[in-house]
C-alpha cells in the first residue's frame, strides 16, 4: 500500500502523518528533520543530533535508500526485480546480497504463513485492478483467476548461492513492495547506528523504527489511525503507543480499494485463492525487532484475518500485533499479550 505524508506543527508537538499510520514526536523543537523520496513514497528521519551537517546527512541517507530502490523497485526497468521478470526459468539470475537477503526473508514468511504472504503475487494484484498501470476492472472470471494463479507461487522461487535467484516457470515475477520499505527503514537505521546517532525515528512510506528517546527525553509516541474509508491521514487516531527500540508497520484496507462491478474490493489479495480478502479485519499494526519483518507480517495478517493473524503473531518470537476489525458498525480491537499498553489520543 502506497502512502503519502506531510509534516506540520500543532500545539508544540511535531506530528508526522502517513496514510498507513501517524507518528507523534512530543516536544520536537530541537529535533533535526530530514526527508527524501524513494520507492514511490517519502522517507523521513528525525534525529536529536548528528555528527554531520544536515545537508551532508540527508545526502548520505538518500544514497543509502536509493540503492535499495534501484535494486528492488518494480517501477524501474533496470532494477534487479524488473530484470528478473524477464529472466528465463531454471537458470540462476545473479542479484545483490541485499536483494537475496530480502527475498530469503520474504520466503521465510511465506513458508510460516503457508502462502498467505507471497512475493510473487503481483499478477493476481493486477487482474483485480491494482498495481502499476492498473485500472479498476470488471471482476476477472474464475478461469482467468485460476490461470493467473498458476503463474504465481512462492514455491516456484528459490534463493541460490552466488547470490542468485531462480524461478521454476518463465512467467514468475517478483514484487517486494510488501517488505522492501521495511528493509529500507532498517538500512537507514544501520547507517545512523554506524554514524553513532543513538536517538532517532526513521520512516519509509508509513513503516517506521525507533531507537533511544524522543527529543523530549521520553519515548517516541506513535499514533495509529482510526480506520475510516478515505479519511485524511492522521485526521482521527485510534490509539497511541510508546516505543523506544522497536519497529512498527501497519497494513489496512481502508484507503486502497475500489468498486468492481458495484462491489467494494480490497487491494489485499489472498495468494492462496487469487481473490481479494473478505473478512472483518480492517487494520493491523505489527511490532518487531526489524521493520522488514514487521512490514511482511502486517501484510500476512491482513490476508489471514484476525484469529489466524493472532495465532501467527503468538508463535513468532519478538512479534506483537494490534488488530482492528469491523463489527456491527463499530471498530473493535484485539491485541497479542505482549503488545505495549495503548493510550487514547
Beta carbons within 10 angstroms of residue 345's beta carbon: 16
**Are the C-beta atoms of 102 and 175 separated by less than 8 Å?**
no
Q: What is 87-167's CATH number? A: 1.10.3980.10
Among residues of the chain, what percentage have pLDDT more than 70?
A: 83
- Read off the pLDDT of residues 39-77 as tens digits, 9 standing for 90 and up: 878 899 999 888 888 899 999 999 999 999 999 988 888
List the grid coordinates of 188. 537507514
* Residue 104 near residue 159, CB atoms below 8 Å: yes
| Higher per-residue confidence, 162 vs 134 | 162
Mean pLDDT of the region 7-33: 39
Query: What was the pLDDT predicted at 262?
Result: 63
Q: Look at 305 and 233; give whichever has higher pLDDT.
A: 305
pLDDT score of 4: 33
**With bands split at pLDDT 50, 70 and 90, how would you rate the model's confidence at 297?**
very high
Burial of 157 per CB tally in 10 Å (0-12, 13-18, 19+): buried
What beta strand segments (E) does the chain contain? 5-10, 13-18, 22-25, 32-38, 41-47, 93-94, 157-160, 164-167, 200-204, 207-211, 220-225, 237-243, 246-252, 257-260, 263-266, 281-288, 320-327, 330-335, 342-343
201 pLDDT above the threshold of 70: yes
Give the 3-state secondary structure of residue 64.
Answer: helix
Kindly list the domain boundaries of the chain, sorted by start residue: 87-167
C-alpha to C-alpha distance for 284 and 306, rounded to whole angstroms = 9
Query: Which residues make beta-bridge pairs with 259?
Result: 264
| 126 pLDDT above the threshold of 70 | yes
Calpha distance 92→103 (Å, rounded): 14
Give residue 45's pLDDT: 96
d(CA 120, CA 149): 10
What's the pLDDT score for residue 256? 52
Evaluate whether 165 touches 157 at the Cβ level (below 8 Å): yes
Amino acid at each position: 500500500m502506497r502512502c503519502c505524508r506531510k509534516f506540520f506543527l500543532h500545539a508544540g508537538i511535531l506530528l508526522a502523518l502517513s496514510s498507513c499510520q501517524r507518528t507523534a514526536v512530543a516536544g520536537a523543537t530541537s529535533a533535526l528533520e530530514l526527508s527524501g523520496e524513494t520507492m514511490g513514497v517519502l522517507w523521513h528521519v528525525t534525529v536529536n543530533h548528528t555528527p554531520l551537517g544536515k545537508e551532508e546527512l540527508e545526502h548520505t541517507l538518500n544514497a543509502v535508500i536509493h540503492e535499495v530502490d534501484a535494486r528492488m523497485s518494480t517501477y524501474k526497468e533496470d532494477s534487479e526485480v524488473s530484470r528478473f521478470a524477464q529472466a528465463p526459468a531454471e537458470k540462476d539470475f545473479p542479484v545483490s546480497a541485499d536483494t537475496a537477503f530480502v527475498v530469503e526473508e520474504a520466503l521465510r514468511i511465506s513458508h510460516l504463513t503457508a502462502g498467505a504472504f507471497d512475493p510473487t503475487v503481483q499478477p493476481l494484484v493486477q487482474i483485480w485492478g491494482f498495481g502499476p498501470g492498473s485500472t479498476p476492472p470488471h471482476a476477472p472470471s474464475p478461469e482467468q483467476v485460476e490461470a493467473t494463479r498458476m503463474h504465481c507461487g512462492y514455491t516456484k522461487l528459490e534463493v541460490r548461492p552466488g547470490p542468485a535467484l531462480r524461478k521454476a516457470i518463465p512467467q514468475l515475477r517478483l514484487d517486494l513492495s510488501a517488505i522492501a520499505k521495511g528493509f529500507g527503514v532498517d538500512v537507514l537505521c544501520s547507517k545512523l547506528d554506524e554514524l553513532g546517532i543513538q536517538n532517532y525515528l526513521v520512516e519509509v512510506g508509513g513503516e517506521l523504527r525507533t531507537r533511544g528517546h524522543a527529543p523530549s527525553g521520553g519515548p517516541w509516541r506513535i499514533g495509529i489511525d482510526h480506520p475510516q474509508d478515505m479519511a485524511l491521514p492522521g485526521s482521527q487516531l485510534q490509539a497511541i503507543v510508546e516505543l523506544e527500540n522497536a519497529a512498527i508497520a501497519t497494513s489496512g484496507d481502508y484507503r486502497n480499494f475500489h468498486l468492481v462491478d458495484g462491489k467494494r474490493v480490497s487491494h489485499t489479495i489472498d495468494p492462496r485463492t487469487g481473490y481479494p480478502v473478505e473478512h472483518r479485519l480492517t487494520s493491523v499494526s505489527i511490532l518487531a525487532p526489524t521493520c522488514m519483518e514487521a512490514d511482511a507480517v502486517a501484510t500476512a495478517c491482513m490476508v489471514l484475518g484476525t484469529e489466524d493473524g493472532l495465532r501467527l503473531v503468538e508463535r513468532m518470537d519478538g512479534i506483537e500485533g494490534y488488530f482492528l476489525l469491523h463489527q456491527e458498525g463499530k471498530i473493535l480491537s484485539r491485541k497479542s499479550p505482549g503488545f505495549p499498553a495503548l493510550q487514547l489520543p
